[in-house]
Structure 1
Amino acid sequence: MDNPEIFVGLDIGTTTIKVVVAESNHGEMNVIGAGTQPARGLSRGVIVDIDQAAGAIKAAVQQAEQKANVQIDSVLLGIPANQLKIEPTSGMVAVADGNQAREITDRDVQNVTNAALLQSLPPEREIIAIAADEFVVDGFDEIKDPRGMMGVRLEMHGTLYTGPKTIIHNAKKAVEQAGLHVADVTVTPLALGQTILNDGEQDFGTVIIDLGGGQTTAAVIHDHQLKYATVDQEGGDFITKDISVVLNTSLDNAEQLKRDYGFANADLASDDNRFPVQVVGQPDPVQVSEHYLAEIIEARLQQIFETLRASLDEVSALELPGGVVLTGGVAALPGIVELAADVLGANVRIYVPEQMGLRHPQNATALALINHSGQQSETQRLVNGALMGEFVPQAAPVSTEPQQSQRQRVANEAANQAAGSTAPKARPAKPKKDRQGSISDFFRNFFD
């Protein structure tokens, strides 16, 4: 992007590729275009065919370019939370000129970040993002921006997010193969938390459940930080397959039935309202009731929520006062709030973007990526620049292209001054609660 005020968020989903273009106006993001294309080359949120994924990304970007009337050269990339690890990290460097204290500069911030990035990771893992929680100047802590302060020693305490190298590499490679530059990378639940939650929900603790097509992600935001994330490898595509198998119809018909007549809660569906279903091997359509279709959908969704509940109970996440916020394409199903509240035992609401043309839960992630980048502080941009491998000018809205060799070179300069990282704290376990399901034994046994 030649214009520094233009931000482009890219959400690579299992079923659709979504691109949102926005321009920054006095700190506010104004959406000026969007593009959506069917996804190809993905399975359960992960790219399995780089060529096909690159083609879908390129088509979605071209659609967004036409609507926004801008040329898109780089994007803000979101990485799913599959096998995500969250751990604290810290680094320390000397900033004194000889024995004299001096003012802390942008370069010092990046040097202490590189010291914090010196982690011994397994060969199959890679750093996705790093968040600066606080800086410490000569023992004075809780500093958000140390630049301009006088000091002898600078420390940084932050949070490190790492993921499987294959997932990260494939996503970046597909973007580059589409002719685009990766301006910045972040974990999608981290960006979602800053966009769909208010300040109180981020502070006191809230669970975000992203109901996608290929998988469902639950993330815990507390103290304005991403504390925990878990992924269930089931999503909207599984609901479509269930409808196809039970009603003996094609996947395309099943998807259309889900969108046109589907209810997440069978109690809200009518037994009198019926619709035709084209059954394989039969010349004439078969009449099916909304209630019968809703029972199929509810069975799968209840199974997904029960799986997530078991993981969230282990970290007592469902006791947080913020409750649960649903987003993602599946969250548009009527009655899903009632079903989720019944299974999870928490207050539940749905997030729908308010921007014109984006008023559907499936657009939340792409919108969150641009908001996350646009709302970053200048200090966090410097931290991101150290991770991406280049020095970031103070006024740049997005970081520059990653160069592993440059990052390693800068890291080596700060290696002798780095402090060791601390180990993550253990989370208290909570026994699983027994809850009685609301669906028939037939559908439960069928999907088991």
Structure 2
Amino acid sequence: MGSARSAGLSRGVVVDIDKAVATIQKAVRQAQQRANVEIHEVTAGIPANLLEIEPCQGMIAVADESKEIDDRDVRNVAAAALVRNLPPEREILTVIPDEFIVDGFDGIKDPRGMIGVRLEMHGMIMTAPKTVIHNLQKCIERAGLEVNQLVVNPLSLGQLALADGEQDFGTVLIDLGGGQSTAAVIHDHKLKYTYVDQEGGDYITKDISVVLNTSFDSAEKVKRDYGYADSTQASADEEFPVEVVGQDTPVTVSEKYLAEIIEARLTQIFEKMNQSLRKVGALDLPGGIVMTGGVTALPGIVELASDIFDHNVKLYIPDEMGLRHPSFAQALSLINYRAHLSEIDLIVQSTLKGNYRHQKAVQSDSGQYQAANQQAAQQQAETAAPKKDHFASIKKFFSNFFE
């Protein structure tokens, strides 16, 4: 592993590409030296800022003359599901297949090898602002790396931090990071809802810096060494020195006073989250609340969250050697998510690359499926042509389809 303090980011998104590139390169160099391997491709996490989740479905006629469904058919039906009219400022980030339907038989996870005439796919599409996506990609590319896959942070984190039952019956996952705080609802093994608060651990550090009149770096060190999230657990008798701007001698501050500064900001974050989650009924789910992220390393944070949410709260900390700190949970979740993607997931994801990603269409939903059937039927007929015309027919199909 390699780690570097984030720079060039504000509220979870890139605001200074040069600083972000330098940070990425520093972390990657550390990882390369420790593992003694060269890193060329990366899986990167995208924050849930302005994330939109919507259902999608596509339908095609099976192209092969034998009616046996193959990889090409899966890509075609996924492409049909992606046809939609997106606002110019948004882009499809990921598509997740829920089920495939072959000639009316539903609940199929992998239709390849099956015999059928009509293939359907139902799933979920997640879209994000182009600015967020492309700025992150630009940083990674300028750092000399290739983006293998972009993953929505709460989606991967939920698979790592939550048990199978918690993902199934429904749980609220809270990620308290340095740049921002994110609450996500995972239910039926799906990401159903996200809420992003632009206040995170950096805001707590700024509060300490302003109140104690100390530098940001000094405030960060004080927070980590002496901070408590719950002021009732801090001692008024335990004191520590703080370097004050403009003074030669440090000022003595009690743990309780520092905890009151930290608790005020965390209370504000939790109360806003509580309102948002209760509006959508998320706190009625039986899984309770699971918290992770660097800020959750503060002692007393579980007790404070339990009081504000009036709900069962537990903390997730990775148990892998060298990563036993909640700040590493997100990075570890990206590795875990990528490693557990099935072949069918990878095939569907591949439709986002190349020409698929930037295509837009203006058909209505009913028109989409009708057009998909007509074009797929045309492709099926064309496959009877000589083999030399095979790839030309596929190219023609997609060209017509996206017009």
Unaligned residue ranges in structure 1 (runs of 5+): 1-33, 390-402, 420-448
Is residue 137–residue 153 contact of structure 1 (8 Å, CA) maintained in 2? Answer: yes
Larger Rg, first or second structure (1 or 2):
2
Residues paired across the two proteins, number: 368
Is residue 204–residue 222 contact of structure 1 (8 Å, CA) maintained in 2? Answer: yes
| Number of the residue aligned with 2:17 | 50
Q: Which amino acid aligns with 2:259?
A: A
Cα separation, partners in 2 of 1:237 and 1:418, compared to 1, 3 Å:
farther
Structure 1 residue 247 displacement after superposition: 1.0
Report matched runs for 1:260-275 at 5 Å: 260-275=225-240
Cα separation, partners in 2 of 1:44 and 1:415, compared to 1, 3 Å:
farther
CA distance in 2, matches of 1:296, 1:408: 50
Give the TM-score of the pair, scaled to structure 2.
Answer: 0.88
Report the structure, 1 or 2, having the larger helix content. 2
Q: Percent identity?
A: 62
| Number of the residue aligned with 2:170 | 205
CA distance in 2, matches of 1:207, 1:261: 29
Per-residue Cα deviation, 1:200-247 (whole angstroms, up to 9, x for no partner): 000000111110111100000000000000100000011011111111
| Number of the residue aligned with 2:183 | 218
Structure 1 residue 376 displacement after superposition: 1.2
Q: In the alignment, does 2:219 pair up with 1:254?
A: yes
| Number of the residue aligned with 1:105 | 70
CA distance in 2, matches of 1:260, 1:219: 29
| Number of the residue aligned with 1:277 | 242
| Number of the residue aligned with 1:318 | 283
Cα separation, partners in 2 of 1:279 and 1:380, compared to 1, 3 Å:
same
Instruction: Find the partner of 2:81 among 101, 113, 116.
Output: 116
Structure 1 residue 41 displacement after superposition: 1.3
CA distance in 2, matches of 1:341, 1:175: 38
Instruction: Find the partner of 1:73 among 13, 36, 40.
Output: 40
Per-residue Cα deviation, 1:302-334 (whole angstroms, up to 9, x for no partner): 000001111111111111111111111001000
Is residue 115–residue 415 contact of structure 1 (8 Å, CA) maintained in 2? Answer: no
- SS of residue in 1 equivalent to 2:3: strand
Cα separation, partners in 2 of 1:341 and 1:406, compared to 1, 3 Å:
closer
Report matched runs for 1:420-439 at 5 Å: none
Report matched runs for 1:359-438 at 5 Å: 359-387=324-352, 389=353, 403-404=354-355, 408=359, 416-417=371-372
CA distance in 2, matches of 1:288, 1:164: 44
Per-residue Cα deviation, 1:342-369 (whole angstroms, up to 9, x for no partner): 1011111111111111010010111100
Cα separation, partners in 2 of 1:64 and 1:228, compared to 1, 3 Å:
same
Report the structure, 1 or 2, having the larger strand content. 1
| Number of the residue aligned with 2:104 | 139
Q: In the alignment, does 2:61 pair up with 1:94?
A: yes
Is residue 351–residue 357 contact of structure 2 (8 Å, CA) maintained in 1? Answer: no
| Number of the residue aligned with 1:435 | none
| Number of the residue aligned with 2:378 | none
